[in-house]
């Protein structure tokens, strides 16, 4: 088996490349990344149960055919992903992410590889009821340039499924919770854990404290991608993949289990009109996948790792 992963050293990718070695022993795993984030440590201590090759390339500009040739599946993670900062870099996010997805999709058609596109539950944006993959187009209300671009990527891939026979599955991931060698800290839960572990106030958007958002245990995320590769789902299907819908209040209470004296500061943010929304993962669960029961374990792991550093970080 041959699997290609774009954006292989990022938060999800750096966990996935380890997981695949155990889920697909003996597999050829090709890692592609432009290394602009310099997450070189993601490549440390890779398991010996897989055959790895790493190539430092930009999928937006490089010829992908020689890397995709013979690939059973391409997991497309490469993207600019900071939703909040995408307001200041909207044109760059749209150009980069759309171009990357377009080129990966075309290369998958040429190599006849299955493509797994990582999208985001942020494409829903606002909803007063629990939303599923079968919701109306009018129920998709992305609230950031990042989310708007993810929806355009989905539309592009769906068009190529119909018109060019692309074999693709679209995964709308909730916000990732959990540690990895290439983890990032601009997402809500990881940022909260960093602040709390260092004895800093947790900064929460004023309107977000009691609003629900979909979150995804990183372990569930990597298991779900392995599950999809084994399942070989029908082309063009979209799956919501999330462990739970939780409020920021509920997240901070989990953190309080590990750090009882946390302080919360409320701040304003550009994403002020994003209402509470819940997302259903029933379609994916009905395939036979079991999600974890909660986020406590991943949050606890993150805080414990950060607390070990607290003694020598100067504030």
3-state secondary structure of 240: strand
Give span(s): CATH 3.90.25.10, the chain: 181-213+244-277+292-310
Residue 232 has pLDDT above 80, yes or no: no
At residue 15, the pLDDT reads 96
Q: What is the mean pLDDT of the chain?
A: 89
Short-list 216, 206, 209, CA closest to 279: 216
Q: CA–CA separation, 44 vs 62, rounded Å?
A: 25
How much is the pLDDT for 298? 93
Classified by CATH at the fold level, domain 2-176+217-241 comes out as: Rossmann fold (3.40.50)
Count other Cβ atoms within 10 Å, centred on residue 213: 23
More confident residue, 83 or 228: 228
Angstrom distance (rounded) from CA 50 to CA 47: 7
For 116-156, what is each residue's pLDDT tens digit?
999 999 999 877 789 999 988 888 888 788 888 999 999 99
Where in the sequence of the chain do the CATH 3.40.50.720 domains occur? 2-176+217-241
Q: Specify the range with the lowest mean pLDDT, choosing from 32-36, 85-89, 132-136, 158-162.
A: 85-89
pLDDT, position 273: 47
> For 181-213+244-277+292-310, CATH number?
3.90.25.10
Identify the band that residue 231 occupies on the pLDDT scale cut at 50, 70 and 90.
confident
Q: Which of 144-153, 223-232, 236-245, 269-278 has the lowest mean pLDDT?
A: 269-278
Q: How many angstroms from the chain centroid is the CA of residue 239?
A: 13
Per-residue confidence (pLDDT) for residue 272, from 0 to 100: 46
Least confident of 204-213, 224-233, 272-281: 272-281
Is 4 strand, coil or helix? Answer: strand
Q: Does the pLDDT at position 162 exceed 50?
A: yes
């Amino acid at each position: 088996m041959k699997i290609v992963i774009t954006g292989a050293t990022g938060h999800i990718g750096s966990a996935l490349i380890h997981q695949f070695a155990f889920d697909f022993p003996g597999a050829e795993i090709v890692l592609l990344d432009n290394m602009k984030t310099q997450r070189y440590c993601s490549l440390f201590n890779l398991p010996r149960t897989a055959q790895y090759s790493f190539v430092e390339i930009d999928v937006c500009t490089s010829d992908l055919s020689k890397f995709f040739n013979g690939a059973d599946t391409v997991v497309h993670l490469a993207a600019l992903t900071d939703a909040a900062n995408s307001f200041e870099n909207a044109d760059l996010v749209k150009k980069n992410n759309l171009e990357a997805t377009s080129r990966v999709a075309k290369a998958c058609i040429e190599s006849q590889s299955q493509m797994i596109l990582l999208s985001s539950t942020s494409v829903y944006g606002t909803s007063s009821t629990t939303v599923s993959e079968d919701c109306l187009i009018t129920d998709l209300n992305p609230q950031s340039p990042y989310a708007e671009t993810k929806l355009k990527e989905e539309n592009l891939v769906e068009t190529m499924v119909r018109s060019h026979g692309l074999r693709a599955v679209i995964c709308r991931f909730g916000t990732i919770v959990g540690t990895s060698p290439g983890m990032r800290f601009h997402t809500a839960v990881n940022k909260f854990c960093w602040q709390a572990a260092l004895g800093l106030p947790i900064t929460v958007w004023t309107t977000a404290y009691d609003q629900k958002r979909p979150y995804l245990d990183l372990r569930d995320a990597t298991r779900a991608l392995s599950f999809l590769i084994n399942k070989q789902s029908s082309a063009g299907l979209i799956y919501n993949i999330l462990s739970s819908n939780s409020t920021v209040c509920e997240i901070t209470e989990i953190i309080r289990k590990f750090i009882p004296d946390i302080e919360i500061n409320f701040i304003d943010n550009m994403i002020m009109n994003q209402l509470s929304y819940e997302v259903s993962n029933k379609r994916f669960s009905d395939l036979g996948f079991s999600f974890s029961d909660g986020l406590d374990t991943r949050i606890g792991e993150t805080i414990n790792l950060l607390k070990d550093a607290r003694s020598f970080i100067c504030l």
